[in-house]
Structure formats: structure tokens, C-alpha cells
Amino acid sequence: MNLKEFIRIAFHSLSANKLRTALSLLGIIIGVASVITMVAIGTGAQEQVTGQIGAMGSNLITVSPGFSRGGGGRISQDIADVFTLEMAEAIKNASPNIKHVVPTSETSGLAVYRGNNVRVRISGVTPEYQEVINHYPLVGRYVREQDVANSEKVTVLGSEVASELFGPENPVGQSIRVVIGDRSYSLRVIGVMESKGQVMMANYDNRIYVPITMLIKRGLKTRYVDGYSIEAASRDVAKSVVQEVEVFMTRMLGDADRFRVMSQDTILETVSQATGTLTLLLGAIASIALLVGGIGIMNIMLVTVSERTREIGIRKAIGAKRKHILMQFLLEAVLLSGLGGILGLGTGWAGGYWLSRGLGWPFSVSPVAVVIAIGFSVCIGLFFGIYPASKAASLDPVVALRYE
């Protein structure tokens, strides 16, 4: 059979009723566009998050408390009071591939300078911490060994905190008050950090850094820290370091449930899994729109078939076979949905681009999504076209001819 000829015929009848064609195209366009946009947003989010993790250094390993199992009415919660300052040194012996082990602790508080105040996260750190997370002071200096040894009341401000408290003034050398719980401390500013921005849900610019000893001993009145950040010698050894640390700490603490060791790569995996699920979910929701578009096509095709009963009768009377009529109407449906798919791709592309720019995310449309969207819409045309087309094809020529 002459396929080219039949495609021409299908185009012909689609262009004979432009408004109707446009309206049924619209359904598919919206469906495909929303699939493309949603998937673009999902993958954009994924790239955004994974890109940030990569920027943090993928040889970073964190040790955090395990949870006590919930059950018997108890709520699952982090096990506290496990990690001490001194253990950091010990953990270093777990593997020769460890560069640094730094204890970390965090709390939130209020920073006050003259009339200004701002809510901040307070990170207790040691000098190595700047290397571990790749974040250095822009002016002044970082926390030093001596500050840690003496629990000095000094602080390095995140860039946002500095500008909110001091404006254009140089904070270095000034004193700020920091309120932790119901106590208040006067801290001397020794430096301001470079801006790092939002990294994985955490904002590093609205923090202040203090010697870890100052935070836990003076501020939190405890011997324990939240956990440790470990810098592995390279990304390649990070995985084996995780295992070595796990083995080492299990021996040290006698219980593997009291801590968790995670490399950036495992976090990366978890996060991509989560965002992958998100993408899938968004795509699935958008597919419903596509499905509705398909039903729209079926509706239009059914109307078309009954409207063109006489035409079908004439075609059959002069020798069209079942397959010719089937082909004609199926091609119409597929052309309609395919065309809608292509236009929807363009629209979705534009929409996704515009949205990701608004959100400040990287924009990407994966070729897979494109192929799936177009392929899916063509299949929708086939699926929803087959019933009307076979209805047309099985019309009795005499009945069709007598049809008014």
C-alpha cells in the first residue's frame, strides 16, 4: 500500500477541520508539555543537589549517631552522648587513608551586635574543618589550635551573618553577643568566611564558627560532640575508609547500632534515589494529562468517524478495503498525537527552561524523556485511534451510503 499517499490523505482531512484538529492537538500538547516540564524539573533538582554534593568534596565521610529503634511505644530517636572529642584522634588510626578527622557539633542561637540581631547556626569546629569542607575565611583568620585548646571565646562569621550584623563595617576585632539557650556570651570576631551559598539544604553563610571546645564545654555544658567529619585521602578510597571506620568504631564502641558512617557517595546515591523517585512521580502525574489528551483524541476520532460515515461508504463503494479505511483513520489519529507530541515537546521545553531559570536550577531535558514523550504520544494515538478506526473500517458500505 502507498503509505505516503495515505499520510497525505490523513493530513488533508486534518486540515479540512482546523479548529477541531487544533483543539484535539491541544490535549496532547498539554499532556506532553507537562511530562517534559515535570521531568525537566525533576532532573534539574537532581543535578542541582548532586552537583552541590560534588562541590563539597566527594571524599568527605560523616560519622553521626545511630538511632535507637522505635517500638514498644517508644519513638525512634538519635542516640546521644556517644562521641567524645578525644575519640577523633583515635578514629584517625582506623585507616592510613584518613587525612583528617574533625569533631563537629552544632546548635542554633542568636547573634547580636548593637541594634542588629540574627538567628544563626553555631558550628563548633577545629582548624582542620575548613580543609575538610573546602570553606575558608575571606578576611581575618579561622579558628586555631590554640583557640580550641583554651576554649577561646572567638568566632568566625558566615558572610551573610557578617553583612547583616555589620553592614559595610569590618567585623574583625569587634565583639558580638551570642545567645545559646538562656545564656549569653561575648565573642570576639576573628574572621569572615567566603560565601558558599546553599549546599544541600544547608546554608553555610548564615553560620558562625566557634572553637568546638568553646561550644560544647561553655555553651552546651557537655563532654560530647554530635559526630565527626572525616576527609579521606581521595574519592576512590572513600568507600573502603567507610568500612574501616565502621569496623574500628564497632570495636571501640562495642555496638554497630550506635553510629552511622556515610560517605558523600552514599549520600549522593540516597539523594539521587529520592530525586529519581520524585522525577518519576512528577512524570506519572503529568502522564495522566497525556492520557486525558489521548481520550480527547479518541473522542474526536469517534465524532469524525460518525460524521464521515458517508465518506467511508463512498470510499468502500469504489473499492476501499477494510485495511485502507483502518489505515486512513489510524494514521489520522497517530498524526494528530505525533504532531501534538512534537508541539508539546517544544512547549514543555520552553516551560521547563523558564521554570528552572526561575528556580535557579540547571535545565536539562534528557533525550530519554524526549523519546518517551514522543513515542508515548504516538502510542496514545495508536491506542485510542484503533477503536474508532476499526469502527470505521467495519462499516457496511450500503449502510454507510444510505446514511444521511
Partner 1 sequence: MNNSSKVFIADGIDKVYAMGDVKVNALRDISFSIQTGEYVAIMGPSGSGKSTLMHIMGCLDRPTSGSLYLRGKDIGSLSDGELAEIRNTEIGFVFQNFNLLPNMSILENVELPLLYAGMPARERRTRATWALEVVGLADRLRHKPNEISGGQKQRVSIARAMVNQPAILLADEPTGNLDTATGKEIMALFDELNAKGNTIILVTHERDVAEHATRIIYILDGRIEHFEFRIQDEEEHVPVWEVVEA
Q: Which residues bind partner 1 (CB under 8 A)?
A: 1-2, 5, 12-13, 16, 310-311, 313-322, 324, 396-398, 401
Q: Considering beta carbons, is residue 224 or 403 the nearer one to partner 1?
A: 403
CB of 36 to partner 1, least distance (A): 34
158: its cell numbers: 558566615
Tell me how far apart the alpha carbons of residues 365 and 37 are, in angstroms, rounded to a whole number: 8
Distance of CA 37 to the CA centre of its chain: 14
Residue where the block lists cell 527552561: 353
Q: Alpha-carbon distance 126 to 230, whole Å?
A: 12
**What's the rounded Cα separation, in Å, for the pair 140 and 145?**
16
**Least Cβ distance, residue 3 to partner 1 (angstroms):** 12
Closest CB 305 distance from partner 1, rounded Å: 15
Nearest-angstrom CA–CA distance, 95 and 125: 22
Q: Enumerate residues 6+ apart whose C-beta is below 8 A from 350.
A: none
Q: Which is nearer to partner 1, 115 or 319 (CB)?
A: 319
Cβ atoms of 47 and 361 within 8 Å: the answer is yes
Q: How far is the CB of 22 from partner 1 (least distance, A)?
A: 17
Minimum CB separation of residue 387 from partner 1 in Å reads 19
State which residue, 4 or 221, has the beta carbon closest to partner 1. Answer: 4
Cβ neighbour number for residue 302 with a 10 Å cutoff = 15
Helices 322-359 and 264-307, packing angle to 10 deg: 140
Q: Which is nearer to partner 1, 257 or 396 (CB)?
A: 396
| Residue nearer to partner 1 on the CB measure, 86 or 404 | 404
Smallest distance from partner 1 to CB 321, Å: 4
What span, in angstroms and rounded, lies between the C-alpha atoms of 196 and 22? 49
**Least distance between partner 1 and beta carbon 307 (Å):** 12
- Residue among 119 and 322 whose Cβ is closer to partner 1: 322
DSSP 69-93: PPBTTBPPEE--S-EEHHHHHHHGG
Residue 19, number of CB atoms within 10 A of its CB: 7
Cβ-based nearer residue to partner 1, 67 or 403: 403
The contacts of residue 395 (CB under 8 Å, 6+ apart) are 309, 312, 313, 316, 325
Report the relative pairing of strands 183-193 and 154-157 from DSSP bridges.
parallel
Q: Which three cell numbers stand for residue 126?
A: 577545629
The dihedral over CA atoms of 214, 218, 221, 223, expressed in degrees to the nearest 10, equals 30
Q: Which is nearer to partner 1, 2 or 76 (CB)?
A: 2
Q: How far is the CB of 391 from partner 1 (least distance, A)?
A: 15
Min CB(2)–partner 1 separation in Å: 7
CB–CB of 340/377 below 8 Å? yes
Contact between residue 256 and residue 248 where contact means Cβ atoms under 8 Å apart: no
* Residue 258 to residues 82, 83, 102, 220, Cα–Cα distance (Å): 8, 10, 19, 21
Which is nearer to partner 1, 285 or 399 (by Cβ)? 399
66 or 397: CB nearest partner 1: 397
Task: Name residue 129's amino acid.
Answer: Y
Smallest distance, Å, CB 309 to partner 1? 12
Q: How far is the CB of 9 from partner 1 (least distance, A)?
A: 8
Nearer to partner 1 (CB atom), residue 291 or residue 401: 401
